[in-house]
Structure 1
Amino acid sequence: MTSPADPSASVTDVLPRPNTAFRQLRGRLSPGEFAAAVRRAAREIGEQVSCDARYVGRVEAGEIRCPNYAYERVFRHMFPGLTPADMGFAPRERVRGRGARAQAGTAPPAPDDHRDPSIQSCEESDVLRRAFMTGGPAAALGIAGLAPLGTAPDPRSTAGRLSGAAPSKGARQVGRAEAAAVEDAVRRIRLLDDRHGAEGIYRRAAQPLRAAYALLDAGAHRQSVTDRLHAGAGELAISVGWLAHDSGRFGDARSHYAEALATARVAGDPALEAHAFCNTAFLARDAGRPREAVRAAQAAQHAAKHLSSRRLQSLLALREAGGWAGLGDRAGCEEALLRAHRLFARGPSDADPEWMSFYGEAELAGLEAQCWSALGEHGRATEHARRAVALQEPHFTRNTALYTAELAGDLADSGAPDEAAAAGLRVLGLLDEVGSARIRSMLAGTARTLRSRRRTPGVADFLDRHATVAARPA
């Protein structure tokens, strides 16, 4: 480890000053609950922010010294009359340092200068937001350190490292800025997936994954940075694996999840291990290996037994229930579902992992619907799928399409072809925004079921529009 006096230590290793003013604004809400309030406020004014408990924690710890422009607008909306300074933030010009450099006549930092991660966050998040509005998911993944294919970013910069370029000989030791960049890459990928689905971003997301493991190989002076890199690289492997999973590339997904599991075992990280097994269980169920799904879900529960998140345990019980349903074991499925509901009812906590922001009442209902559908209980499946659609927060566009596709299939199987066609048409209307092989496969199954009911009002329209969409290249 580097001693405090070591001149080679990065300036970003200096401990930030906690933002006590912002902590007071959160009041009695947990970080997760406050993050949800931030997202709701953003929607009220037409902004798009991916706030989660981790972001709130970074602000309160002082790691984010000024919010980007989108967050600033949201916070001003939430707390009318307060300025960013009142909320404990530093002036933007002071954090970025441009005004001071201009007055002193000093040169801007070299590309390999280790700047405050909050500066990078302010600048990159604004660029990302503009890319969302103008270029779609592919453009958003082509900026802020995730360079497009065929380009050669400066390998000395953090952005260059996260796009897969080989580090230069004289590059500084890996520090907190690089660890933060890996973590931010995970958040960007999750946000894009929530909005647009996996297709179109999977191939590009593999670039920062390779770079994250290259940073691990390069090593860091501080154990805390090494731990963050292990966790960040593992979470990135899971995120890329999920993009492969949702794109129908099951072999690739299995490989990425195994990579994340190996990283967790090397780092002795039970939270990462539980996450890797959780996704492995989901993949096994979708790939038609229900017994493996049960084993992986049980392994995830074993890894998470000393963690304090009841919501995580609830999700893992649902993964186990899905495996039992695939095996046709109604008793095993019902027992796991009961456990999932009981644990979920204990509410959220600060210990809930950041990646579980998607797991709320809608996801609980949607996964239970899939269990009843696998058991042939289409009426009960329809009931839960309706609930999932009704409860889903609108910014999770992919999940809205997924639950509606589940509802369409359950309605078709339960003898309600007109309602099934209407739900199917709603999903088709979302496919311009969402790319997901899973959702397309579910709609194809609904179309097959409804072919014999073509004369029913609305069914022909759905079948014709589905045939047109299915003929398009993925």
Structure 2
Amino acid sequence: MSREPNHQLAAVMAEAGASNKGLAKRVREVAQRHGEHLGTTHVAVQRWLDGSGIQRQTAAFVAEALSDKLRRRVTPQELGFPGAASAPAPAAVGMRYAGSPAETLNVLDGLTHQRPEDRPSDEHRLPDADVYSAALSWLVSRPDGLPTDAPATRRVGMRDVAAIRAAAGFFMQLDFQFGGGHAHKAFRHYFREDVLPLLGAGYRAKVGEALFQAASEMSQLLAWTAYDSGNHALAGRYMMSTLRLTQVVGDRMMGARILANMSHQANYLGQASRALMLARASVEGGKAGSTPRAMALFAAHEARALSTAQDHRGAARAMNEAERFFERAGSADDPEWLAYMDEAELIGEFCHCFRDLGQGAEAVRFAERAVGLTDPKYARTLGFCRMVLAQSQLLNGDLEAAVTTAGLAVEAGDALESARFQRYVGDFQRAVSAHGRHPAVQQFCRRVRDAMSRLDDE
């Protein structure tokens, strides 16, 4: 049976100036980078050019090899390998700091085929060495610069960037109001189909810089919603790739935010030393290009990590630093994604710190302020603050007030598809279990059961 030559592959190879032997070598190197061994030779490349079939994973490696050579994203479909589309990302993908922008985009494309519910929450955590290496690589990095040889088949303008940012604002509000699990599926589809393709299109330098910044905003939201859904492995891989994405145009403020998010996740998982390292990398790395409001956020995460580590003096210093930065928050123009970092958010971070430090009176005082200041549109944040207030009241020995406060949080937040909020509730239940015979505690436990059953039915 005669086969049709693969003219698409031939055209991209010609554009890249890649010979059969050169492409074969690059494919072997890409496979090795992903922990796979391929014996690809120039003979195999010629067979593909002649129209022979190719395995799905090998096609993805060929696309990545040519992406690296061209410094733009190339998909298997562009190479005449349509059957290779939508290959799920292997578990190892995204576990290391990518070597190039093209590799980063390919990893992100693969991650969008993963669902938060596909893997147990605490499986495949990032090894310390990879996290430390990523933080160091980002700290000492210089911008890659925008691709200059992208095909002009599609031109991107500021209108496209504005659309991405509008979508990011919409998805961020869904996340705040209903939890990370609510819109993750639609979000990752939008990112894969409407955002990633634009990064390989043509654009002016000013548009390209804004485009990559907007893409990073979207990518970090995917990381955050995966984290809030309880899949820490997937969230970690998104964060690692998003950190690398910020390096393309040297977006130090967003990169520092990603490190702060990684610190937040590590702190949530009880990994205090990792959380502290990442928070300090965020503070140091963000100094050169961040607004005072952003620096307040980064310093607050350092305070959170120090509180988990029970470093009272260090936590007090970091909280004071965050306050000093926040006092100057109005002195610079902030990006839209930072709008949530208001006084209520800062006070909310501090009430967590005092709770973790065991300072019950201060924890209650700050938690009450946080509850009073938090805009109801940030429903999940308000739920967290109420639960921290309940935990702080319990720390102060006020059982009935604690159970009443926690009951209000459950009643207001039982529709949140947030694994983190559910854990706050579960932690409180365990804390009051010693008082299981108390009528108020029994009533609270019934409320939780009813709320969880309603959530399961939705």
Asked if 1:186 corresponds to 2:168, the answer is yes
- Offset at 1:378? 2.8
Please give the alpha-carbon distance, in whole angstroms, between the structure 2 residues aligned to 1:302 and 1:446.
35
The one-letter code sitting in structure 2 at the alignment partner of 1:408 is: A
1:423, distance to aligned residue in structure 2 (A): 1.0
Alignment match, 1:372: 354
**Match of residue 223 from structure 1:** 205
The answer to whether 1:400 aligns with 2:400 is: no
Contact 2:155 2:203 in 1 (8 A): yes
Q: Report if aligned partners of 1:244, 1:252 keep a CA contact under 8 Å in 2.
A: yes
- Relative distance call for 1:343 and 1:174 in structure 2 (3 A) is closer
Residue in structure 2 matching 1:462, options 437, 444, 453: 444
State the one-letter code of the partner of 1:334. Answer: A
| Higher RCO (CA < 8 A, seq sep 6+) | 2
Amino acid aligned to 2:213: A
Q: Secondary structure of 2:248's match?
A: helix
Within 2, Cα distance between the matches of 1:213 and 1:200? 20
**2:222 alignment counterpart:** 240
8 Å contact 1:417–1:456 — kept in the other structure? no
Q: Does 1:388 align with 2:364?
A: no
Partner of 2:39: none
Tell whether 2:311 aligns with 1:329. yes
Is 2:236 aligned against 1:262? no
Deviation, structure 1 residue 212: 5.1
Which residue number corresponds to residue 313 of structure 1?
A: 295
1:408 and 1:423 in contact (8 A); partners too: yes
CA offsets 1:316-364 (integer angstroms, 9 cap, x no match)? 1111111111212111111111111122123423422321211122111
Amino acid at match of 2:399: P
Q: CA deviation at 1:468?
A: 2.7
TM-score (norm 1): 0.61
Cα pair distance change 1:196/1:180, threshold 3 Å:
same
Residue 430 of structure 1: how far off its partner (Å) = 1.6
Structure 2 CA distance, aligned partners of 1:210 and 1:459? 46
Deviation at 1:438, TM superposition (A): 0.9
Q: Is the 8 A contact 2:389 2:402 kept in 1?
A: yes
Cα separation, 1, equivalents of 2:237 and 2:195: 15
Aligned residue number for residue 252 of structure 1: 234
Determine the structure 2 residue equivalent to 1:20.
Answer: none
The 5 Å alignment of 1:60-75 reads none
Aligned to 2:184: 202
Q: Tell me the CA shift for residue 216 of structure 1.
A: 4.2
CA contact (8 A) 1:219 1:226 kept: no
1:447 is the counterpart of 2:436: no
Does residue 357 of structure 1 match 2:339? yes
Letter in 1 for 2:393: L
**C-alpha separation in 2, matches of 1:234 and 1:465:** 40
Contact 1:247–1:437 under 8 Å retained in 2: yes
Q: 1:178 Cα deviation (Å)? A: 2.4
Contact 2:177–2:377 (Cα < 8 Å) also in 1? yes
Please give the secondary structure, in 2, of the residue aligned with 1:410. Answer: helix
Q: C-alpha distance in 2, partners of 1:181/1:395?
A: 22
Root-mean-square deviation over aligned CA pairs = 2.4
| Residue pair 2:393, 2:399 contacting (<8 A) in 1 also | yes
Which stretch shows the higher mean deviation, 280-289 or 343-352?
343-352
Unpaired runs of 5+ in structure 2?
A: 1-114, 116-150
SS for the counterpart of 1:342 is helix
Q: Measure the CA separation in 1 of the matches of 2:260 and 2:298.
A: 6
Runs of 4 or more above 6 Å deviation: none
Residue 280 of structure 1 and its aligned partner are, at CA, apart by: 1.4
Q: Which amino acid aligns with 2:356?
A: A
For 1:253 and 1:194, the matched residues in 2 are separated by 17
8 Å contact from structure 1 (residues 254, 280) kept in 2: yes
Aligned length: 308
Given that residues 387 and 405 in structure 2 are in contact (C-alpha distance below 8 angstroms), is that contact kept between their aligned partners in structure 1? yes
- Residue 273 of structure 2 corresponds to 291
The answer to whether the 8 A contact 2:257-2:298 is kept is: no
How much does 1:398 deviate? 1.7
Q: TM-score, normalised by structure 2?
A: 0.63
**Counterpart of 2:406?**
424
AA partner of residue 265 (structure 2) = L
Are 1:174 and 2:156 matched, yes or no?
yes
Deviation track 1:32-76 (CA, whole Å, cap 9, x = no partner) reads xxxxxxxxxxxxxxxxxxxxxxxxxxxxxxxxxxxxxxxxxxxxx
Name the CA distance, whole Å, in 1 between partners of 2:203 and 2:449.
57
What's the % identity of the aligned pairs?
A: 27
Q: 1:372 to 1:423 in 2, by over 3 A?
A: same
Q: Deviations over 1:303-326 (max 9, x none)?
A: 221235211111111111111112
Residues 372 and 380 in structure 1, CA contact (< 8 A), matched pair in contact too: yes
Which amino acid in the other structure matches residue 416 of structure 1? D
For residue 434 of structure 1, give the secondary structure of its aligned residue in structure 2.
Answer: coil
Matching residue of 2:396: 414
Q: Does the residue aligned with 1:266 lie in a helix, a strand or coil?
A: coil
> Contact conserved, 2:400 with 2:440, CA < 8 A, in 1?
yes
Contact 1:212 1:229 in 2 (8 A): no
The 1:262–1:213 alpha-carbon spacing in structure 2 relative to 1, beyond 3 Å, is farther
Using the TM superposition, give the Cα deviation of residue 433 of structure 1 relative to its aligned residue in structure 2, in angstroms.
Answer: 4.1
Separation of aligned partners in 2, 1:186 and 1:422: 36
> 1:419 and 1:178, CA in 2 relative to 1: closer, same or farther beyond 3 A?
same
Shift of 1:222: 1.0
Q: Offset of 1:221 from its aligned partner?
A: 2.8
Q: Is the 8 Å Cα contact of residues 355 and 388 (structure 2) preserved in structure 1?
A: no
The answer to whether the 8 Å contact 1:418/1:457 transfers is no
Q: Give the equivalent residue in structure 2 for 1:123.
A: none
Q: Distance in 2 between matches of 1:362 and 1:301?
A: 21
